[in-house]
């Protein structure tokens, strides 16, 4: 099935929150999320992508792409992908792959020269999927501010 891909809008907050429960332990503040989505909409270096089932209009997946500058070599920007989630009933049906195709299309349009993916260490099933897409697992550092 071909899923619809588009940039999220504030009225998507409740549906996106349901998708995020796949990777998060609690619901978000929907008003705050809607404000965040609106901010993201107006930032050309950020793309909050939603995948939609064309038959039911259900938002079944989401991810966030962020372009940031790099100072090394030719100075081309880098694409960071975070908050990747697909509703359990849609996993294994091509949603994730189509979302990555769309965000990578956008990253190329933004002249990014490579992509970094952030994923929780406990998401081993997702890591197999990411490996199949060509990502190489590496340990990194994280500090909460």
> Does the pLDDT value for residue 51 go beyond 70?
yes
> Does the pLDDT value for residue 145 go beyond 60?
no
Give residue 117's pLDDT band: very low, low, confident or very high (50, 70, 90). confident
Distance CA 61, CA 110 (A): 22
Q: Where are the domains of the chain?
A: 4-132
Distance CA 19, CA 22 (A): 6
pLDDT value at position 142? 58
pLDDT digits (tens, 9 = 90+) for 15-32: 999 999 999 889 999 999
pLDDT digits (tens, 9 = 90+) for 90-99: 999 999 999 9
Q: In CATH, which superfamily holds the domain spanning 4-132?
A: Gcn5-related N-acetyltransferase (GNAT) (3.40.630.30)
């Amino acid at each position: 099935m071909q899923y619809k891909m588009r940039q999220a809008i504030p009225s998507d907050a409740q549906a996106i929150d349901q998708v995020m429960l796949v990777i998060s332990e609690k619901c978000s503040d929907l008003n705050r999320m809607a404000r965040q989505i609106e901010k993201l909409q107006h930032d050309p270096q950020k793309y909050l992508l939603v995948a939609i089932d064309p038959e039911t209009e259900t938002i079944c997946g989401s991810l966030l792409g962020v372009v940031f500058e790099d100072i090394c070599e030719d100075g081309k920007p880098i694409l960071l992908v975070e908050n990747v989630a697909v509703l359990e009933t849609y996993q294994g049906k091509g949603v994730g792959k189509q979302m990555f195709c769309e965000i990578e299309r956008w990253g190329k349009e933004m002249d990014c020269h490579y992509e970094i993916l952030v994923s929780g260490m406990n998401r081993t099933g997702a890591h197999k999927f990411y490996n199949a897409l060509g990502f190489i697992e590496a340990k990194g550092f994280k500090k909460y501010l």
